[in-house]
Amino acid sequence: MFLAALTPKYGDDVSSDATLVVQLLHRDVNAFEQLYDRHSRIVYALVLRILQQASTAEEVVQDVFLQLWRNAGQYQSDRGPFVPWLLTLARNRALDHLRLKSERQRRREDQTEELPAIAKAPEYEKALDEKRRAERVRSLIGTLSAPQKKAIEMAYFEGLSHSEIANALQEPLGTVKSWIRNGLLRLKEGLQTAS
Amino acid sequence: MSEHDQFRELLEAHALNALDASERAALEAHLATGCPECVTALEEARYLVSQLAYLAPPAEPSEMLRARVLRTARAEASPAQRPKEPARTSTAIPYWLWVGVAALLLLSVYSTWNARKLQAEVAEVNQRAAAELTQREKLEHELMVAKHEAWILTDPASKKIAIWPNDKEMPMIEARWHPKMGIYVTGDKIPMPKDNKVLQLWLISKNGKPMPSHVFWPDANGKIGEMVDDPPEVLAQTKALAITEEPAGGSLQPTSTPMWVGGVS
């Protein structure tokens, strides 16, 4: 139910992301164009937030979408909805870039990378556009304490581990673990309530 | 707290990839057992973590990026997705190319023919030039002989020698001997030797020994005009001139009685 409430629903006249991805397997450029227009903004915003540099962010976004175009078969709709899969892919790619992974290593991963399942295919119960989704997430995270929010952002946007965050914030490791877990659980409850 | 509950507390951090190595290894070992509750919870945690992307400040990618990405995709699309190209002819080679090839072949044939024609013309010109050179040398020789003849005939140093026939019915032959220019023999109405024989001039020395000299024969009108540039004997040591009929090619010794004899004294 949690996932169902958050997964976007498209009208009858609009193809779902999963349908468009299937069309990518047939080298349908129009389907690819629709997917790019739907999701390039949030992907770019995420990558730019991680890398803090527009030119590098565009390079990574290009890599992400061309990976989708060239390896659409890597996405399997029975392992979860498309957008979280795409955002996970973009985050991993951006963090790899942030860690200055070698180009050769990243290319090797292009060919072998298989993202873990995110969720089973949910029943779509409610449509939620990108703008409302962003407002709700920001609102819920905004209720957290500043250090709690900071710890979550450091983990997500900077790819730091519990220990690294504790060192950076000069806080006990247990405290950092609690901040992150409790913050995420509050986000989860808030999203369920809001739906 | 059970071991299972302890792992449940790690799932969100694992979805964030924030676990330290030891915790991550322990959790992954537990997940490898196929715990369905944890697997489902982890999938939900991943979804939850993905929503953190919306914390990023809104940003708009450039139109250039869009154009670049879509252009790459179009370029890599299968032929079926590409814009249809205009129908081509069945040969797949444009007609103008065939025209060019044909023109090239014609030019090649013409060039070969022209080269051979030029070669033939050059050979003909060379042949003509050689003939003209031969003719010129012949004319130059004739001119030189004529000059010698004229010199011998007009120079007072030349000695006139009458060569008389043994047969009184035969015409006389005349020779003029110039000490430096040689001997010039002339005659008219001289009969042509029979049986393919030729006339041969002999210089009879003071001791009576005949020295062979030029071989000659009259022309169709019976005229003789023979120039002996380098006579084998000097005038002072020569007693007489004689002419015999000899086989073709001449002889080293006379094979017949002289038909004409003239004293040099």
Q: What is the ipTM of this complex?
A: 0.84
Q: Measured between CA atoms, how close is A125 to chain B, in angstroms? A: 17
pLDDT recorded at residue B81? 52
Residue A1 has pLDDT above 60, yes or no: no
SS3 B28: helix
Residue B85 has pLDDT above 70, yes or no: no
What phi and psi values does residue B234 have, to the nearest 5 degrees? Answer: -85, 155
Q: Measured between CA atoms, how close is A163 to chain B, in angstroms? A: 7
Q: Measured between CA atoms, how close is B92 to chain A, in angstroms? A: 27
Strand order in the sheet with B210-216: B210-216, B198-205, B238-246, B260-263, B159-165, B173-178, B182-187, B224-228
pLDDT recorded at residue B221? 87
Q: Give the other-Cβ count within 10 Å of A97's Cβ.
A: 20
Residue among B58, B61, B72 minimizing CB distance to A61: B61
Instruction: Report the alpha-carbon distance of residue B240 to residue B253 in Å, rounded.
Output: 16
pLDDT recorded at residue B229? 77
For residue A81, the chain B residues in CB contact (below 8 A) are 47
Residue among A27, A45, A58 minimizing CB distance to B56: A45
B252 interfacial to chain A (CB closer than 8 Å): no
Flag if B53 and A165 touch (Cβ within 8 Å): no
Flag if B56 and A118 touch (Cβ within 8 Å): no
B37 interfacial to chain A (CB closer than 8 Å): no
Residue among A69, A141, A185 minimizing CB distance to B73: A69
Distance between start and end Cα atoms, chain B:
167
Residue B201 has pLDDT above 80, yes or no: yes
Q: Measured between CA atoms, how close is B56 to chain A, in angstroms? A: 5
Instruction: Report the alpha-carbon distance of residue B234 to residue B212 in Å, rounded.
Output: 13
Which band of pLDDT confidence, cut at 50, 70 and 90, is reported for residue A9?
A: very low
pLDDT recorded at residue A105? 53
pLDDT recorded at residue B138? 81
Instruction: Report the alpha-carbon distance of residue B213 to residue B230 in Å, rounded.
Output: 9
pLDDT recorded at residue A126? 45
pLDDT recorded at residue A62? 96
The residues in B 82-111 lying below 8 A from A, measured between CB atoms, are none
Q: What is the DSSP string of A170-195?
A: T--HHHHHHHHHHHHHHHHHHHHHH-
Residue of B nearest to A115 (CA): B46
pLDDT recorded at residue B116? 87
Q: Which two tokens stand for residue B130?
A: 């050689």
pTM of the prediction?
Answer: 0.55
pLDDT recorded at residue A194? 59
Check if the beta carbon of residue A174 is closer than 8 Å to that of residue A184.
Answer: no
Residue B250 has pLDDT above 90, yes or no: no
Q: Measured between CA atoms, how close is B23 to chain A, in angstroms? A: 11
Which range has the worst mean pLDDT, A15-19, A22-26, A33-37, B206-210? A15-19
Residue among A45, A70, A116 minimizing CB distance to B58: A45
Region B168-195: mean pLDDT is 90
Residue among A36, A40, A133 minimizing CB distance to B54: A133
Identify the CA nearest to A162 among candidates B22, B45, B30: B22
Which range has the worst mean pLDDT, A77-91, A114-128, A163-177, B133-147? A114-128
Residue B1 has pLDDT above 70, yes or no: no
Region A136-146: mean pLDDT is 91
- Higher-scoring residue by pLDDT: B13, B130: B13
Residue A124 has pLDDT above 70, yes or no: no
Residue A98 CB-density burial (10 A; 0-12 exposed, 13-18 middle, 19+ buried):
middle
- Higher-scoring residue by pLDDT: A108, A20: A20
Residue of B nearest to A178 (CA): B9
Of all residues in chain B, what percent carry a pLDDT higher than 90?
A: 32
SS3 A27: coil
Q: Measured between CA atoms, how close is B7 to chain A, in angstroms? A: 12
Of all residues in chain B, what percent carry a pLDDT higher than 70?
A: 92
Identify the CA nearest to B224 among candidates B171, B186, B184: B186
Residue B129 has pLDDT above 90, yes or no: no
Residue of B nearest to A81 (CA): B47
Residue among A27, A45, A58 minimizing CB distance to B78: A27
Residue among B55, B60, B76 minimizing CB distance to A137: B55
B72 interfacial to chain A (CB closer than 8 Å): yes
B16 interfacial to chain A (CB closer than 8 Å): yes
Residue A82 has pLDDT above 50, yes or no: yes
Q: What is the mean pLDDT of chain B?
A: 86
Instruction: Report the alpha-carbon distance of residue A62 to residue A58 in Å, rounded.
Output: 6
Which range has the worst mean pLDDT, A93-102, A120-129, B99-108, B127-136? A120-129
For residue A137, the chain B residues in CB contact (below 8 A) are 51-52, 54-55
Q: Which two tokens stand for residue B236?
A: 């002072």
pLDDT recorded at residue B262? 93
Q: How many CB pairs under 8 A join A and B?
A: 161
Residue B82 has pLDDT above 90, yes or no: no
Which band of pLDDT confidence, cut at 50, 70 and 90, is reported for residue A118?
A: low
B211 interfacial to chain A (CB closer than 8 Å): no
- Higher-scoring residue by pLDDT: A61, A189: A61
